[in-house]
Amino acid sequence: MVRARARLSQDIADQGGFDGEPEWREAFAAVPRHLFVPSYFGPSAGGWRRMWGEDPDPVRRLAWLEGVYTDTPLATRLRDGELLSSSSQPSLMAKMLAELRVREGDKVLEIGAGTGWNAALLAYRLGSAHVTTVDLDPDITDSARRHLEAAGLHPHVVTGDGARGCRADAPYDRILATCALDTVPRPWLEQTRPGGLILTPFATGLVRLTVHGPDRAEGRFLPTPAFFVPLRGTTPRAARDLPTDGIARHLLNNDGFRFLLTLTAGRLSPADALEVWQRARHPVRERFGLTADSGTLTAWLDDPEGPDRWQLA
C-alpha cells in the first residue's frame, strides 16, 4: 500500500498537482486513502456494484485497492440510486489544496466532510487543532470521525449545516468547500479573517475569493473544471437544465461556452451568452469572477466594474 500511495502521489505530481506547494506531496504520500474508503461503489451494468476491502475474494479485494489508489473520484454513499457523498478525484483535491495557499498556523474550515480524507490531509499539514470539517449528515460525520481516528488524526468534526459554517471555531484563515452551492453564504464571510480566502465550487468551476470583511469577498475562477455533489437541500445551477435554444451542438460541447451559459443561467439568454462569448473572443474560465457584497452575488467578465456583469439570483 505504501507503493500504491507513492505511485498515486507521483501521478498527481506528473500532472502538476503540487506545483508551488510541494508540502502537499508529502501529505498525499503519508495519509493512506484506503483507510477513508473501506468501500465504494463502482459502475456496473444497470447500476452500481460495491467494492470493499474485506471482500473474501482476493481478486475483488485487489480491484478495490487498485481503485482506491487510482486518480479517480469514488462514490461512497448512495440512497435510492442518488449519490450522497464521494471521495473526490485526488488530483483535483491536490489542486484545490494547493490553491488554498495555506501557511503554518492557518485555521481551515472544510464544508463537506465526505470520507474525511481531505480533512486528514489538511490536519497532517497544519495540525489537527487547526482544522474543522462540517457536514449535515450524522452518518457521514460519524464515519469520517472513525476514519480519521484510524489514521491517528483528530480535526474537529461537526455535524451541522455547512452553509452556516462553524462559528464555534471561527475565525478562519481559509474556508474550503467540497460540495457545490449556488451562492456564497454570508456566514462564511463573517467567519473568515479579512484577507483570508474562500475556495468553493460554483457553476462547474472553482472560484477563489479574498474576504475583505463580513459583507464582501471577491475573486476569480480557476482554470480547472469541477463537478461536486450539491450541498444537501440545494440545487446548484450546475445541476439545472440549461436553456440551449438555437445554440449549435459544437458550442454546447465547448467547455468555455458551456461554463458561461451555466454561470449566467437565468440572467442571459443563450443568444445573449453567445454574443458575449463572441465579442469577448472566447473567454476562458479564469477571465470570469464573482463578487459577494452585502448579500448580493455578481458574476463578471474581466473586470468587476466593467460592462459585463450579471447579478445572480
Name, in order, each residue with C-beta under 8 angstroms of 27's C-beta and a sequence gap of 6 or more: 97, 121, 124, 125
Q: Does residue 271 surpass a pLDDT of 80?
A: yes
Model confidence at 233, in pLDDT bands (50, 70, 90)?
low
Please count the CA atoms within 13 angstroms of the CA of 110 that sit on its side-chain side.
29
Domain ranges of the chain: 2-178, 237-312
Q: Which amino acid is at 60?
A: R
Q: If we measure between CA atoms, which residue out of 187, 191, 183 comes closest to residue 207? A: 183
Q: Which CATH architecture has domain 2-178?
A: 3-Layer(aba) Sandwich (3.40)
Cell of 103: 501557511
Which of the two residues, 242 and 34, has the higher pLDDT score? Answer: 34
Sequence-distant (≥ 6) Cβ neighbours of residue 219 within 8 angstroms = 197, 198, 207, 208, 209, 210, 289, 290
Chain segment 146-182, per-residue pLDDT in tens: 999 999 999 999 999 999 999 999 999 999 999 988 8
pLDDT in tens, 91-139: 999 999 999 999 999 999 999 999 999 999 999 999 999 999 999 999 9
Please identify every residue annotated as catalytic. 85
CB count, 10 Å around CB of 22? 10
CA-only gyration radius of the chain, Å: 20
Q: Beta strand pairing status for 309-312 and 296-301?
A: antiparallel
What's the pTM? 0.92
How far apart (Å, rounded) are the C-alpha atoms in residues 158 and 303? 38
- Read off the pLDDT band of 253 (50, 70, 90): confident
User: What's the mean pLDDT when you consider all of the chain?
Assistant: 92
Tell me how far CA of residue 184 lies from CA of 43, 196, 209, 214, 298, in angstroms.
Answer: 33, 14, 10, 12, 11
pLDDT recorded at residue 240: 58
The beta strand positions in 33-96, using DSSP E, are 39-44, 47-52, 74-79, 82-87
Query: What pLDDT digit, counting tens, does each position of 46-86 carry?
Result: 778 899 999 999 999 999 999 999 999 999 988 776 777 78
Alpha helices (H) along 167-226: 186-190
Which helix (H) or strand (E) is 146 found in, with range?
helix 138-150
Q: Is the pLDDT of residue 188 over 80?
A: yes
